[in-house]
Amino acid sequence: MTAGAPRDRPWLMRTYAGHSTAEASNALYLRNLAKGQTGLSVAFDLPTQTGYDPDHPLARGEVGRVGVPVSHLGDMRRLFEGIPLERTNTSMTINATALWMFALYQVVAEEQGGAPARLQGTTQNDIVKEYLSRGTYVFPPAPSLRLTTDLIAYTVRSAPRWNPVNICSYHLQEAGATPVQEIAYALSTAVAVLDAVRAGGQVSEDDFGEVVGRVSFFVNAGVRFVEEMCKMRAFTRLWDGITRERYGIEDARQRRFRYGVQVNSLGLTEAQPENNVQRIVLEMLAVTLSKDARARAVQLPAWNEALGLPRPWDQQWSLRIQQVLAHESDLLEYPDLFEGSPVVEAKVTELAEGARAEMERVEREGGLLAAVESGYLKGRLVASHAERRAAVESGAAKVVGVNCYEQTEPSPLTADLSTAVLTVDPETEAGVVSALARWRAGRDDARVRETLAALEKAAAGTENLMDASLRCARAGVTTGEWAGALRAVFGEFRAPTGVGGAPVGEAAPAGSPLAAVRVRVDRTAADLGVGRLRLLVGKPGLDGHSNGAEQIAVRARDAGFEVVYQGIRLTPEQIVSAALAEDVHCVGLSVLSGAHTALVPDVLERLRGAGAGDVPVVVGGIIPAADADALRAAGVAAVFTPKDFGITEIIGRIVTCVRQANRLDPQEVPA
């Protein structure tokens, strides 16, 4: 250790957690804090994220699956029971409904005797990446940005230790962003938010530096850990320049690039999942090795996330990885290890210059919101993701245990797949819905109507929506009612899919796998006497992870299919209606939230009821083996999981399903 140099303090250690019910999640948080976790990171379920109550039709199968349902003040109370919010650093991964969740959180803190001014933590509150990657948006971009800036302005006045916006590039990388794109689009988002705050006039110029100083970022770190470390240094350099030059911030503390990280979940594999442990460690090094660009909060996925929902033991393993690095290694004893390195400096410069150029292209598109609405940004991400998938499929990008070194010994970790992941009791949803009915029955309905009317009036005007939302929270308004009032004023939005504008993902020279699939597609269309085979790609429920669906749609199009893809957030009824209207030859459903057990059988039953039971249905997603068997028994023609990385092969198997369903090749082996 350098003589006299202070040991750097460890970063906040979190695990991203929440499932089933507020009570179950509260017990999990208390256990994690007792194990040495130093901050909480709340995962909300999809109905909560998208502004629906648990009894809404779109919430079916989604309640408590990927996070905790928080429908009203009572849920928030139970979620943090026994946890003093004044002394807890809480990160909430919430965007479209961020202002509402913070209102509920603040009221619970007040009930505990706490003051908003002493609350510490973060609301993600970055709606832009929802349009591009995660899909939990509700309102059009302009009113969504208003909600973001209203929360920022409120916290600057009333909760100055809270980070009201956490610009999230994490999901951009998951959606295909290169390091240059991740930097450029995240910083462009931050600029759009700060410009909107300044233009809104709610914050004085004297206080604007406080707004800049409370902007934080949430990034992704992939396994190319040298490049990822350089990415963080490039982020730091560019943010320092933007805040000084564009906004005139002189205080170096307010210009600091403050970020938390979740390392890459996209790269975790179902095949040989034990390899995910070393991937997670390498990815964590990318954001901890460099002191001058070190993350101040880290949460790690679990080794089995490609298989299903991690158990508490799996999350503990990931927490212990952080603790060993922070407390057993000598990492925190040294100044920056890379200062003066010509190799690192060259890579940082390359990334920074590339990001500046891409930010300038976004400006030429009319700015960030215009680039979202036009589909420019989504199209760039879909194209980048197609290139990355093609590299894995061809073997140019090596993934150990997937496309190389595939021979393996049996793993004791997955010897019993039924116990290798946490399963959410399907009866949980009914219990949550019943509890919601009891909550509504115990409210003062007149007060609820009054506060919702005031919220609508505020939304139709220009006043900050936080005060009206706090009144709604105290009156017992539900998440769906709050969002419904705003939907009535703002309307809803469907983001561009990016599929139509994506270039051909892979060339198809004679003799290539894609060329062979194209021949089979054309032959099958001819055998059926149709011009082209038609494939409907559907996203039932509230799952907004559309990356896989988009890549299937692009590759099917390139293989000669006519593709029907209407984007995310569809009911089974809407999917079946589209399948019938378009007279498709196959329905492909993508579900990553765990709702496949409820939604896929519904689609099958509706197709049969409409006389289209002979149309094959295939399903892709994070689907445990037992669930896959059940889906096939219910009539699903093929199930694809993360181990099926070859998209061209998947399209070929879909063609086989079509041929079998139409008895064109009775001798073929089932898909």
Could you list the active site residues? 16, 170-171, 539, 543, 545
* Residues forming a β-bridge with 588: 537, 618
Cβ atoms of 60 and 599 closer than 8 Å: yes
Q: What is the C-alpha separation between 12 and 33, in angstroms, rounded?
A: 12
* Residues forming a β-bridge with 564: 536
Helices 445-460, 479-490: inter-axial angle, 10-degree rounding = 30
> How far apart, in Å, are the Cα atoms of 526 and each of 63, 90, 531, 532, 659?
44, 59, 7, 8, 12
Cβ atoms of 539 and 510 closer than 8 Å: no
166: its two tokens: 């956490």
595: its two tokens: 């709702």
* Residues forming a β-bridge with 42: 17, 92
Among candidates 236, 331, 346, 240, which has minimal Cα distance to 293?
A: 236
- Stated length of the chain: 671
One DSSP character per residue, 78-93 reads HHTTT--GGG-EEEEE
Q: What is the C-alpha separation between 60 and 69, in angstroms, rounded?
A: 13
* Residues forming a β-bridge with 221: 263
Q: What is the C-alpha separation between 297 and 261, in angstroms, rounded?
A: 6
Phi and psi torsions of 586, nearest 5°: -160, 145
Cβ atoms of 54 and 44 closer than 8 Å: no
Q: Which stretches does DSSP call E strand in 493-565?
A: 534-538, 562-565
- Which residues are CB-neighbours of 416 under 8 A, at least 6 positions away? none
